[in-house]
């Protein structure tokens, strides 16, 4: 889902990038001074885990492959604001150090994966958690990545490189990620369940972090 | 700087396992061909040729120039994971309660 430079028209890239900066600034403001010293390394470990997990391209028979993005996972484990900052860190390093995703469209990639996927995923998790945390985490991962893909599809479909074929980009990316998102949902749910059982003290509500 | 949490060694071990798996998954994905919906959408609309590379990333395409695929992928995974770990922990400390106390 990492958009390269040249795919999105500059005004769209700049506008979406500005929106991403505004949301991340607010996120940083919300959690500033709220993270206990003992919990600070968790942000680094989750970010590093998301980065490493994104390098695992799961081969899917039929000529495609998918990788875990981790937006909903980070949001559930860290809370949405820290989750957004965590995934933004990953996306920035991917673009600057590894050339994965363009520099001009870095803000758009951050918006899609670190803002839309994280906050939509978290909202779905909170909505469904009363009915079971496992299925809530699954739906959060599944629909969070689909929401991020749809956001990217709108930006691409409104751009000249894609000949303004918004319906095509929405259909291909929406349906594609709705299917591939099942892997995202499964990994999110199983890893979160394991961590919640093994280390319940790592849950955001266990330390009174700002979560909404 | 406070005491490191007791879960950190196990977390770092898990990260090491993930970096070791990166070349294996890279190879396996290469066997089926790597294509994401974004690439499919670009092909369907004729946008593929519009992709441009801005700037020069030091570990372009998660590889290291002069090294073979799996070794380069592994080194990229180690470098990226370490960088993300340090930057993420740094941001966490910067936004931490103790950092606030010191202001």
Smallest CA-to-CA distance from A148 within A69, A74, A42 is with A69
Instruction: Specify the pLDDT at position A62.
Output: 62
Q: How large is the C-alpha radius of gyration of chain A?
A: 16
**DSSP state string for A57-87:** -EEETTTEEE----HHHHHHHH-HHHHHHHH
Q: Which structure tokens are listed for B48? A: 């593929």
Q: How large is the C-alpha radius of gyration of chain B?
A: 19
Size of interface A-B (CB pairs under 8 A): 234
In a domain, A169, yes or no: yes
Residue B67 near chain A (CB below 8 Å): no
Q: Best mutation site among A46, A57, A196 for testing chain B: the one with the most B CBs within 10 Å?
A: A57
In a domain, A148, yes or no: yes
* CA–CA separation, A140 and A120 (whole Å): 8
Question: 């409104």: which residue's tokens?
Answer: A158
**Residue A177 with chain B: CB contacts under 8 Å:** 37
ipTM: 0.88
Please give, rounded to a whole number of angstroms, the shortest distance from the CA of B3 to a CA of chain A: 7
Q: In the 8-state DSSP scheme, what is residue B7? A: T
Residue B65: burial class (beta carbons within 10 Å; 0-12, 13-18, 19+): exposed
By CA distance, what is A2's nearest residue in B? Answer: B38
* CA–CA separation, B88 and A16 (whole Å): 23
Model's pTM, two decimal places?
Answer: 0.91
In a domain, A81, yes or no: yes
* Mean pLDDT computed over every residue of chain A: 91
Instruction: Specify the pLDDT at position A212.
Output: 41
In a domain, A185, yes or no: yes
Instruction: Specify the pLDDT at position B102.
Output: 46
**Residue B59 with chain A: CB contacts under 8 Å:** 97-99
8 A C-beta contact, residue B91 and residue A89: yes
Task: Give the bridge partners for A64, in sequence order.
Answer: A60
Helices (H), chain A: 10-31, 40-54, 71-78, 80-98, 106-110, 117-128, 133-157, 166-198
* CA–CA separation, B99 and A211 (whole Å): 20
pLDDT in tens, A28-51: 999 988 887 777 788 999 999 999
* CA–CA separation, A74 and B71 (whole Å): 29
CATH number of the domain enclosing A17: 1.10.1760.20
Q: Which domain holds residue A88?
A: 10-31+65-206
* CA–CA separation, A40 and A203 (whole Å): 13
CB atoms B25 and A156 under 8 Å: no
Length of chain A: 212
Task: Give the bridge partners for A66, in sequence order.
Answer: A58
**Residue B7 with chain A: CB contacts under 8 Å:** 199, 202
Say which of B61, B80, B85 has its CB closest to residue A45.
B85
Q: Count CB neighbours of B33 within 10 A.
A: 12
Q: In the 8-state DSSP scheme, what is residue A196? A: H
Tally the domains of chain A.
1
Domain ranges of chain B: 9-45+68-101
Mean pLDDT split into 10-residue runs, chain A, 212 residues: 95 98 96 80 93 84 73 95 96 95 96 98 97 96 97 98 96 92 94 88 60 42
Mean pLDDT split into 10-residue runs, chain B, 103 residues: 76 93 85 81 94 84 82 93 95 77 47
Q: In the 8-state DSSP scheme, what is residue A35? A: B
Containing H/E element for B100? Answer: helix B97-101
Residue B48 near chain A (CB below 8 Å): no
């Amino acid at each position: 889902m990492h958009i390269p430079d040249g795919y999105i028209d500059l005004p769209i890239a700049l506008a979406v990038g500005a929106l991403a900066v505004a949301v991340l600034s607010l996120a940083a403001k919300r959690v500033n001074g709220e993270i206990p010293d003992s919990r600070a390394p968790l942000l680094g470990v989750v970010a590093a885990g998301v980065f490493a997990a994104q390098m695992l391209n799961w081969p899917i028979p039929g000529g495609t492959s998918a990788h875990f993005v981790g937006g909903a996972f980070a949001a559930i484990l860290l809370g949405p604001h820290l989750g957004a900052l965590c995934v933004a860190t990953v996306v920035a390093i991917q673009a600057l150090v590894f050339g994965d995703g363009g520099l001009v469209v870095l803000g758009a990639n951050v918006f899609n994966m670190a803002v839309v996927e994280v906050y939509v995923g978290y909202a779905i998790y909170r909505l469904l958690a009363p009915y079971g945390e496992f299925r809530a985490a699954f739906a959060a991962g599944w629909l969070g990545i689909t929401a991020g893909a749809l956001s990217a599809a709108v930006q691409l479909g409104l751009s000249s490189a894609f000949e303004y074929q918004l319906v095509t980009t929405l259909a291909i990316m929406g349906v594609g990620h709705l299917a591939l998102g099942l892997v995202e949902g499964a990994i999110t749910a199983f890893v979160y369940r394991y961590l919640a059982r093994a280390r319940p003290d790592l849950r955001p509500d266990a330390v009174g972090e700002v979560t909404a | 700087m406070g005491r490191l949490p007791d879960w950190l060694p196990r977390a770092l071990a898990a990260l090491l396992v993930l970096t070791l798996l990166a070349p294996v998954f890279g190879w396996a994905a290469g066997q089926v061909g790597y294509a994401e919906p974004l690439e499919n959408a670009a092909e369907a609309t004729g946008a593929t040729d519009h992709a441009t590379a801005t700037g020069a990333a030091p570990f372009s395409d998660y590889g290291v120039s002069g090294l073979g695929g799996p070794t380069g992928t592994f080194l990229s995974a180690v470098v990226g994971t370490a960088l993300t770990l340090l930057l993420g922990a740094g941001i966490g400390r910067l936004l931490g309660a103790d950092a606030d106390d010191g202001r």
